[in-house]
Amino acid sequence: MGKVYLTGAGPGDIDLLTVKALRVVQQADVIIYDRLANPDILVQAKEGCEFIYVGKEDSHHTIPQDEINEIIYQNALKHKNVVRLKGGDPLVFGRGGEEGMYLRERGIEFEFIPGVTSAIAVPEYAGIPVTHRGVTVSFRVVTGHESRKEKSQIPWENYKTDDTIIFLMGLHNLDKITQKLIEIGKPKDHPVAVISKGTTPEEKTVVGTLEDIYEKAKDLPTPALIVVGEVVKLRDQLNWFEC
């Protein structure tokens, strides 16, 4: 029986792969990877390494999660070093926890290898710090995926604070998200940024307000994330990557 490395691939820029992740990729017998993991990482694998694509778009899976769990497990029965490569960090909306549990129940050894999460790195490449002295003392990372459900689990009322709010998987719900935030009392001119394909050469940031960001940003390509908060204004002074 092999060991599974539930590994973060970082947000896009291949240089943001951790040294530890690179090491396990180089030793892997099989790499099971997602759409959001930069495929250029695979050239680092040794000769004879097998590649299995279980691509998924946002939370719409082309292969259901229980099938992915089983694919990982079956490969751990066959191979010594199994790398499960996921975009960003494996435990930030990455379902790495479920994969770990599935393997534990079947007696397969695993390790988590943290990755640089898009939630922080993508705003950072856009020149938007998620916290900034004198502007905000905290940030939240929230799923933007479930906002269309009738009964949202998101405690919107808690979002009245000055926290920076980062929505992942939210572009297709941008109108709902901005509407909700206005409903709970945020000013219509509250700053918002949408960042598409962050940390890659195609990165594009669009800045607006709760009122106009939907019209400005709705057609941006995915993956994209939404940053809400006064920190967005700091981009005027800190933009460095898209210059």
Contacts of 134 (CB under 8 A, 6+ apart): none
Between 49 and 92, CB nearer to ligand SAH: 92
Residue 9 in contact with ligand SAH, rule: CB under 6 A: no
CA distance 115 to 99: 16
Between 7 and 79, CB nearer to ligand SAH: 7
Residue 69 in contact with ligand SAH, rule: CB under 6 A: no
Minimum distance of ligand SAH from residue 132's CB (angstroms)? 20
Between 36 and 49, CB nearer to ligand SAH: 36
Contacts of 216 (CB under 8 A, 6+ apart): 194, 206, 208
Using CB under 6 A as the binding criterion, the count of chain residues that bind ligand SAH stands at 24
For tokens 């920076």, what's the residue? 164
Residue 100 in contact with ligand SAH, rule: CB under 6 A: no
Residues in 136-195 that interact with ligand SAH by CB under 6 A: 168-169, 195
Nearest Cα to Cα of residue 124 among 166, 74, 155: 166
Contacts of 220 (CB under 8 A, 6+ apart): 171, 194, 196, 204, 206
Q: Are 182 and 163 in contact (CB under 8 A)?
A: no
Residue 199 in contact with ligand SAH, rule: CB under 6 A: yes
Q: Taking the CB of residue 131, how many other CB atoms lie within 10 A of it?
A: 14
CA distance 243 to 230: 21
Residue 217 in contact with ligand SAH, rule: CB under 6 A: no
CA distance 33 to 37: 7
Among 69, 118, 136, 178, which residue sits at the site for ligand SAH (rule: CB under 6 A)?
118
**Could you give the residue numbers annotated as active site?**
34, 56, 169
Between 224 and 232, CB nearer to ligand SAH: 224
Residue 54 in contact with ligand SAH, rule: CB under 6 A: no
Residue 92 in contact with ligand SAH, rule: CB under 6 A: yes
The footprint of ligand SAH (CB under 6 A) covers 11-12, 36, 58, 86-89, 92-94, 117-119, 122, 168-169, 195, 197-199, 223-225
